[in-house]
Chain A
Amino acid sequence: MERFSALSLARKALGGHLGWKPQWRSVEQPKKAYDIIIVGGGGHGLGAAYYLAKQHGLRNIAVIERGWLAGGNTARNTTIIRSNYLFDESSSYYEHSLKLWENLSQELNYNVMFSQRGCLMVAHTVHDVQVFKRHVHANRLNGIDNEWLSAEEAKEFCPPLNISPNIRYPVLGASLQRRAGTARHDAVAWGFARAASDMGVDIIENCEVTGINRGPDGAVTGVETTKGTVNAKKVAVSAAGHSSVVLEMAGIRLPLQSNPLQALVSEPVKPAFPTIVMSNTIHAYISQSDKGEMVIGAGTDSYVSYTQRGGLHIPAETLAAICELFPMFRRLRMMRSWGGITDNTPDRSPITAKTSVPGLYVNCGWGTGGFKATPGAANLFAWTIAKNEPHPINAPFTIERFRDGVMIDEAAAAAVAH
């Protein structure tokens, strides 16, 4: 692997940027067998392959992707990274991820453009104020930074914010996690792909898994794909909105509903927005990308769908909220909108676990907020696959929690904004 440094970039610049090589090996045809097959070549799947190779010394791995690398939800989210979740289980999972984010560019030698610009969660009602203060206290007990700001302090931190008492839902205050931020979504996937490929992981694109093969004892023996049978003793599914479809091949029913979640970006403008602002109550969240576009997250369509689009009334509602909160954006034109298929659990917390089928693992249920968890989930999923048992952090995130009634109810934190 060609390492990036100031010197190597300068040398390539002086050479007219000729001679750049592909950053990972393109593998057209999978081998007959691997030790581990990862289904799904998004950030989570590629990251799991990376950590399996890096931390667990397992290198005979294939990542099988139906479309192209990181073309699903990795490319479709609004790249918000934060860890201010309410419950101990979730905050330790998301904080584990945030800590990995903080060193990810160095670790991968690939700039993922992680920018800790803070995340302001705006409160509009007495209930919001109480809930967010509760989050602040819970987070601080868990050693996670989160603080309460008055409306004036929030405006000082984010000057475009409209704190006029005359709007329909006036801003009463906000919680602020300063270590929260954004990252460049493609770079995360590319960085993991490059590092994993360098350690021998095969990344196979345009290869759809059509079946999961099992032996007489019920254990996994491999997968059927559009490029033939591939054998492996361990198959790990990281297929986001399609997790139900893949696991149904092994007869496993999941507590998931796949819904489109829409997002949109404006025309690019000069740096005008210093942070991330989220409002759960009037449903708006916004940040500015390094290209200058305002990245705006809209809501979830209410019905099960795999169409990667949704109704226009959903983003229209979000834009109304954006215009009220940030009047200066009223004449900003929107450039593109799209949808991603999110896999939502009843308690809005993920599943990173073994399944009832020996050798079959699943990382799913990230719903509307999986991007922030990319390195953390990948890291703990790799642990679970390698050791055939969960890490203490992801141990509560099983499928069985729905049977046993030990849910991690993050609907307040996760049902709306990401």
Chain B
Amino acid sequence: MLLIRCPYCGERAEVEFSNGGEAHIDRPRDPMSLTDEEWAQYLYMRDNPKGLIAERWRHAHGCNRFFNAIRDTRTDRFVVTYEIGQPRPEVTPEQAAEAAR
């Protein structure tokens, strides 16, 4: 079970959270102007990286707030969790190496 640091509540067990999929996907401002291809990209096509991923989590059995996290999908180690609305933080090579360990 993962230990996840909620930016609002601190470290909690994974069972308190639900995963919200890829982070930083903005709903198109004007959906009607999109082509089918662009709409499909928005709705269905996802980054599925073997390595660092930016993803959303919701502290469902806690503060119930969404936040974002960067995690290495090869090890499931978190690099950082951060509040919704913040840009994706830069990951230093040291942090990346630690997460890949």
**A residues neighboring B (CB under 8 Å):** 242, 244-245, 253-258, 302-307, 311-313, 343, 346, 402-405
Contacts and interface: CB of A to CB of B under 8 A. Distances in A.
A253 to B, nearest CB: 5
Contacts, number: 65
Nearest to A347: B44
B86 interface: no
Interface string B51-73: 00101000000000000000101
A406 to B, nearest CB: 11
Given A253-B47, A303-B76, 7 more contacts: A242-B50, A244-B48, A253-B45, A257-B46, A303-B55, A306-B74, A403-B40
Contacts of B76: 303, 305, 307
Nearest to A243: B48
Given A306-B73, A307-B76, A245 B50 contact: yes
B50 A404 contact: no
Interface of B: 1-2, 14-15, 18-19, 21, 36-37, 39-41, 43-50, 53, 55, 71, 73-76
B14 A304 contact: no
Contacts of B1: 311-313
A164 B40 CA distance: 47
B14 A254 contact: no
Contact of B50 (A306, A311, A403): A306
Contacts of A405: 36
B38 to A, nearest CB: 9
Contact of B41 (A253, A307, A311, A343): A253
A403 B14 contact: no
Nearest to A345: B44
Contacts of B14: 311, 313
